[in-house]
Structure 1
Amino acid sequence: MNLLIADDEQHMLHILKAYFEKEGFTVFLARDGEEAVDLFYHHKMDLVILDWMMPKRSGIEVCRTIKQLGHTKVLLLTAKGEADDEFAALQSGADDYVRKPFDPRILLLRAKKLLHLNAKVVIGNVTVDLEEQRIYRGEQDVMATHKEFELMKYFLANKGRILSRKMLLDHVWGFDYFGDERTVDTHIRRLREKIGESCIQTHRGMGYSLDDRL
């Protein structure tokens, strides 16, 4: 899923980017309102997180622009704490409103709730329990390993999108992993044996995808 985060605090941007990328999001960063609008025009976004007070164009202005163009979810961040401010944020079309300072884990949960990324995701006869970190085929726990579960979670966040072996290595094994890309093939083969061959599609020379028809 594509996520745009706009904030003029560089440190905040990089912290949030790390949290959301770990959960499988593709993250775009903007340092001001104009850059946020430009990125929104050029990339399909599933969620936009905007700081209220930004250079060039405020989060409120950017939110109104985004809502005029479609139904993309928008979450506003602000240090403002008055009831009138919250009312103004929601009146601009924002779907949610989070006051600074905040715990990035709470923001992540609020974002997932907006996107309806529930604790349990059902794909055919496979159920992925994101809270318990378990995968079930029918009623049976397939006893997925940690890496198998992380692979499945990343596929869920990018359902229908082709993911290269390098992307899977970077997001599941980490950017500092220097092993062979065939490690991905081995883990996907084992995951398929547990959840069924049809869930994960192979795209020769490109990578893998979770079947978006399921």
Structure 2
Amino acid sequence: MNILIADDEKHMTSILKTYFEKEGYNVWIAADGEEALELFFSNKIDLVVLDWMMPKRSGIEVCNEIKQVSLAKVVILTARSSHDDEFSALDIGADEYIRKPFDPRILMLRIKKMLGTEKVAAIRDLEIDFERKKVFKNGEELSLYKKKFELLTFLYENKGRILSRDSLLSSVWGMDYLGEERTVDTHIKRLRDKIGADHVITHRGMGYSFHDKNQ
């Protein structure tokens, strides 16, 4: 999983980078809002951690721009304590709002819960091992290529949510992918052939969602 941390406090980014890398995440660092957007649009980023007060572009501006085009999760960090500020951040799409100072361990727990990044997920006849990047159906390992595993992971992380073809292309294949939407349909069909058709639901004219009957 790819994480972008944007904060002009080098000590803060260094600490967070250490914690994220210890958990096995790939980390990009930005020192201002413009650099954050450049890195976001040139890499496949799953989660963005933004400081509210940054040079050039504020965290709230960056969050707003990201949320207009992507399903990436966004966490806002801030020393501001007003409830109006929290409302503003959540209203434009931030997924989490953390007040400074904070314990990095608490931040990591909240992010893991938000992302649903269990090491192993069991869904009826399926078992997804995110750490080893393996999938099992009724105890037998399935042969999934890297892109199909990434597609399954993204669907699972957003289970119950309808994901458009555009959002799947940008989130799984990357913002700069120039292929057609039918690429998604083809990969969904092949993924269903492997894991079972009832795990991925088609919403006509809208997109796809991962279905977990245990929810």
State the TM-score bracket (shorter-chain normalisation).
Answer: 0.5 to 0.7
Partner of 1:84: 84
RMSD between aligned residues: 2.8
| Structure 1 segment 99-178 matched on structure 2, within 5 A | 99-118=99-118, 120-122=120-122, 153=131, 155-156=132-133
Question: How far is 1:69 from its partner?
Answer: 1.1
Question: How far is 1:105 from its partner?
Answer: 1.0
Q: 1:60 & 1:127 partners in 2: Cα distance?
A: 35
| 1:94 match: secondary structure | coil
Partner of 1:14: 14
Question: How far is 1:114 from its partner?
Answer: 1.9
Task: Return 5+ residue gaps in structure 1 as ranges.
Answer: 129-151, 161-194, 204-208
CA contact (8 A) 2:2 2:26 kept: yes
Partner of 1:24: 24
TM-score (norm 1): 0.60
Task: Encode CA deviations 1:40-61: one digit per residue, 9 max, x unaligned.
Answer: 1100111111000000000000
User: Which entry has the higher C-alpha Rg, 1 or 2?
Assistant: 1
Q: 2:114 & 2:23 partners in 1: Cα distance?
A: 15
Q: 2:55 & 2:128 partners in 1: Cα distance?
A: 44
Change (3 A) 1:211 1:32: same
Q: 1:73 & 1:84 partners in 2: Cα distance?
A: 21
TM-score (norm 2): 0.60
Change (3 A) 1:126 1:14: same
Change (3 A) 1:68 1:200: same
CA contact (8 A) 2:78 2:100 kept: yes
Question: How far is 1:92 from its partner?
Answer: 2.0
Count of matched residue positions in the alignment of Structure 1 and Structure 2: 147
Change (3 A) 1:127 1:38: closer
CA contact (8 A) 1:78 1:99 kept: yes
CA contact (8 A) 1:200 1:211 kept: no
Task: Encode CA deviations 1:64-113: one digit per residue, 9 max, x unaligned.
Answer: 00011121111100001111111111112111100011111111111112
Change (3 A) 1:126 1:92: closer
Identity value in percent: 54
CA contact (8 A) 2:120 2:127 kept: no
Change (3 A) 1:88 1:199: same
Question: How far is 1:118 from its partner?
Answer: 3.5
